[in-house]
């Protein structure tokens, strides 16, 4: 291995030079002393260590034999260096340090390639260092897991990954995947996942920052100018800031629709294919009057196959932010219109209120739930809509109870008729049939502040094995309050099991600490190229 050989030659040359200098300065000194001799074993130098990128935790337990020194006083350094690294062109050896522990336990967060590892043992009393090297090959097997966008505080996004260990059993944190990335993506605002029914064409997280919106592609979590979402749009501007991205899985031809609302309230739609391309926005009421859409889309996740022509005619629901009214667009129409509801009328579709949340049930019933706030008071109201074939019905309405005036986040369970909202450090559950009653289900320490409270839909239920389970877990992420600007690892990720019965207890099933300052999280599914 050329790189390994070059490194060792350089080390030997440096050692020889050091010895010559020592002999010269000690000329005439013949008072000899015994020296400490350290040998390192337990590291396989004959075979290659193989690790899967962002999936394997590399574990090496070296054996250290010393003739004189005290092993507890030694200093340890593990470096893993790419074979193509060029320290002569600005690369510092300190960039490649992965641990200072005696035993290596390293969640591999390296891209595909060949690496040379070095284990260094230093006796601080004498300054003498002993080095043992090894060879590492990193390959990809399709990295999946929870992608977490964190605010680094220096104008960039820190990306953390919560994946599985080498045995695919325990959750492991792979922190700051972009720490060596030379790309200014900006400060994180939100995360979405874009993927079609069968992961045939699209499958990637989307990071929205104050600078733009970018897809995160490949098993190395690539982001750059080439992944800017502006290239998906016909009229390319300097940047596209996505306020909401929603996938409508089933349409007439069984191809998923990708809905996008940008920060200016423009609505775009395209099919999830290899030719996905957004043309002109459709936020024009009845094709005549432009309106600003609230950043929410309500869609159906069911498919009606009873018609002999396999027609699909479920409405997509939008909200006119300025007119404060519900709008609907059916597949046969080019533009949204004022929503018309059949059956019992529980509320006026022109509400006069501000929308703060809207989402849809996933598997059972085509139900859309919205939360609207009274503009002049801290009162919140729940609206329930059933999307039927070529019709919309109203099925829930009422004022939301509990300390909802302190609510920061709302989220709808994918299948159960329950809504959750989060305050600074508590989470409350609301039964859709009785919104006036809110039950506290999670209470966190006052030193924590909730940054994320959501359910994460899985687009491709036949893709990543076991990923569908996560769709029914409540994701709650917190940041430690009163942390200084220099403190980075202040975030905590939690998953909660939600019981089917409204009266059941919500239980914590996963807790991972040591993340950055969390802004948003999404599950990275197995994409079409993984």
Q: How confident is the model at residue 530 (pLDDT cuts 50, 70, 90)?
A: low
Q: How confident is the model at residue 201 (pLDDT cuts 50, 70, 90)?
A: confident
Do 246 and 360 lie in one domain? The reply is: yes
The residue ranges of DSSP E strands in 461-524, in sequence order, are 473-480, 491-497, 507-515, 518-524
Instruction: Determine, yes or no, domain membership for 416.
Output: yes
Do 328 and 428 lie in one domain? The reply is: yes
Instruction: Determine, yes or no, domain membership for 529.
Output: no
Angle, alpha carbons 325-326-332 (nearest 5°): 135
Do 125 and 196 lie in one domain? The reply is: no
pLDDT at 518 over 90: yes
Structure tokens at 116: 């040379």
pLDDT per residue as tens digits for the range 335-362: 999 999 999 999 999 999 999 999 999 8
Split into its structural domains, the chain has a count of: 2
Give the CATH number for residue 154.
Answer: 2.130.10.10
Q: How confident is the model at residue 236 (pLDDT cuts 50, 70, 90)?
A: low
Do 279 and 419 lie in one domain? The reply is: yes
Do 84 and 208 lie in one domain? The reply is: no
pLDDT the model gives residue 274 = 79
Structure tokens at 504: 């059941």
pLDDT the model gives residue 154 = 87
The pTM score is: 0.80
Q: How confident is the model at residue 308 (pLDDT cuts 50, 70, 90)?
A: very low
- The separation between CA 234 and the C-alpha centre of its own chain, rounded to angstroms, equals 28
Q: How confident is the model at residue 150 (pLDDT cuts 50, 70, 90)?
A: very high
Give the CATH number for residue 62.
Answer: 2.60.40.10
pLDDT the model gives residue 151 = 95
pLDDT at 22 over 90: no
Q: How confident is the model at residue 144 (pLDDT cuts 50, 70, 90)?
A: confident
Q: Judge contact between 43 and 156, C-beta under 8 A.
A: no
Q: Judge contact between 519 and 149, C-beta under 8 A.
A: yes
What range defines the domain where residue 17 resides? Answer: 2-22+35-139
Instruction: Determine, yes or no, domain membership for 27.
Output: no
pLDDT the model gives residue 135 = 94
Instruction: Determine, yes or no, domain membership for 392.
Output: yes
pLDDT the model gives residue 343 = 94
Count Cβ neighbours within 10 Å for each residue of 250-267 and write b for 16 or more, e otherwise.
Answer: bbeeebbbbbbbbeebbb
Q: How confident is the model at residue 13 (pLDDT cuts 50, 70, 90)?
A: very low
pLDDT the model gives residue 16 = 34
Do 234 and 99 lie in one domain? The reply is: no
Do 135 and 256 lie in one domain? The reply is: no
Do 226 and 372 lie in one domain? The reply is: yes
pLDDT the model gives residue 28 = 44
pLDDT at 3 over 50: no
pLDDT the model gives residue 148 = 98
pLDDT the model gives residue 467 = 77
Instruction: Determine, yes or no, domain membership for 28.
Output: no
pLDDT the model gives residue 303 = 59
pLDDT at 248 over 70: yes
Spatial neighbors of 395 by CB under 8 A, at least 6 apart, are: 346, 367, 384, 385, 386
Among 109, 139, 169, give the residue marking a domain's end. 139
Do 88 and 52 lie in one domain? The reply is: yes
Return the higher-pLDDT residue of 73 and 317: 317
Do 289 and 197 lie in one domain? The reply is: yes
pLDDT at 193 over 50: yes
Average pLDDT over residues 44-48: 90
pLDDT at 442 over 80: yes
Q: Judge contact between 214 and 229, C-beta under 8 A.
A: yes
pLDDT at 232 over 50: yes
Instruction: Determine, yes or no, domain membership for 42.
Output: yes
Among 139, 172, 199, give the residue marking a domain's end. 139
pLDDT at 465 over 90: no
pLDDT at 32 over 70: no
pLDDT the model gives residue 516 = 96
Strands, sheet with 391-399, edge to edge from the N-terminal-most edge strand: 354-360, 367-373, 380-388, 391-399
Percent of the chain at pLDDT > 70 equals 85
Do 115 and 178 lie in one domain? The reply is: no
Do 393 and 329 lie in one domain? The reply is: yes
* Element (DSSP H or E) covering residue 2: helix 2-25
Return the higher-pLDDT residue of 485 and 4: 485
pLDDT per residue as tens digits for the range 62-82: 999 887 767 788 999 999 999
Among 104, 139, 174, give the residue marking a domain's end. 139
pLDDT the model gives residue 461 = 67
Q: How confident is the model at residue 4 (pLDDT cuts 50, 70, 90)?
A: very low
């Amino acid at each position: 291995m050329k790189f390994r050989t070059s490194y060792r030659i350089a080390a030997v040359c440096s050692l020889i030079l050091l010895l010559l200098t020592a002999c010269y300065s000690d000329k005439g000194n013949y008072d000899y002393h015994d020296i400490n001799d350290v040998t390192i074993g337990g590291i396989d130098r004959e075979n290659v260590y193989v690790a899967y990128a962002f999936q394997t935790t590399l574990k090496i337990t070296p054996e250290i034999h010393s003739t004189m020194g005290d092993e507890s006083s030694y200093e340890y350094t593990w470096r893993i260096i790419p074979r193509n690294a060029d320290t002569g062109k600005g690369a510092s050896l300190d960039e490649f340090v992965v641990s200072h522990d005696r035993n290596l336990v390293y969640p591999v967060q390296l891209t595909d390639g060949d690496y040379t590892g070095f284990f260094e043992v230093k006796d601080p009393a004498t300054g003498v260092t002993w080095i043992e090297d090894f060879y590492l090959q990193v390959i990809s097997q399709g990295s999946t897991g929870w992608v977490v966008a964190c605010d680094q505080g220096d104008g960039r996004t820190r990306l953390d990954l919560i994946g599985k260990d080498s045995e695919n059993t325990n959750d492991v944190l792979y922190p700051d995947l972009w720490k060596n990335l030379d790309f200014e993506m900006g400060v994180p605002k939100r995360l979405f996942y874009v993927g079609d029914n069968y992961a045939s064409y699209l499958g990637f997280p989307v990071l929205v920052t104050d600078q733009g919106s970018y897809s995160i592609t490949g098993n190395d979590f690539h982001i750059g100018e080439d992944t800017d979402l502006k290239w998906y749009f016909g009229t390319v501007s300097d940047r596209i800031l996505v306020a909401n991205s929603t996938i409508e899985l089933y349409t007439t031809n069984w191809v998923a629709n990708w809905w996008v609302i940008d920060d200016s309230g423009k609505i775009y739609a395209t099919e999830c294919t290899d030719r996905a391309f957004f043309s002109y926005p459709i936020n024009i009421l009845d094709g005549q009057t432009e309106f600003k859409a609230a950043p929410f889309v309500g869609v159906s996740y069911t498919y009606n196959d009873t018609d002999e022509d396999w027609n699909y005619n479920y409405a997509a629901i939008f909200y006119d932010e300025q007119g404060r009214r519900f709008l609907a667009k059916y597949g046969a129409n080019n533009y949204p219109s004022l929503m018309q509801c059949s059956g019992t009328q529980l509320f006026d579709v022109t509400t006069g209120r501000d929308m703060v949340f809207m989402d849809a049930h996933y598997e059972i019933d085509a139900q859309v739930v919205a939360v609207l706030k009274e503009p002049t008071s801290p009162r919140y109201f729940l609206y329930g809509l059933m999307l039927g074939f070529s019709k919309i019905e109203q099925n829930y309405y009422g004022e939301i109870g509990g300390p909802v005036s302190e609510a920061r986040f709302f989220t709808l369970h994918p299948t159960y008729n329950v809504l959750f909202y989060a305050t600074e450090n508590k989470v409350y559950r609301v039964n859709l049939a009785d919104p006036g009653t809110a039950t506290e289900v999670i209470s966190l320490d006052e030193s924590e502040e909730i940054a994320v409270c959501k359910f994460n839909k899985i687009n491709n239920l036949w893709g990543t094995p076991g990923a569908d389970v996560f769709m029914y877990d409540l994701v709650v992420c917190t940041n430690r309050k009163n942390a200084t600007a220099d403190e980075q690892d202040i975030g905590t990720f939690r998953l909660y099991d939600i019981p089917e019965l409204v009266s059941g207890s919500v239980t914590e099933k996963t807790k991972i600490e040591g993340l950055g300052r969390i802004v948003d999280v999404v599950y990275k599914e197995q994409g079409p190229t993984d």
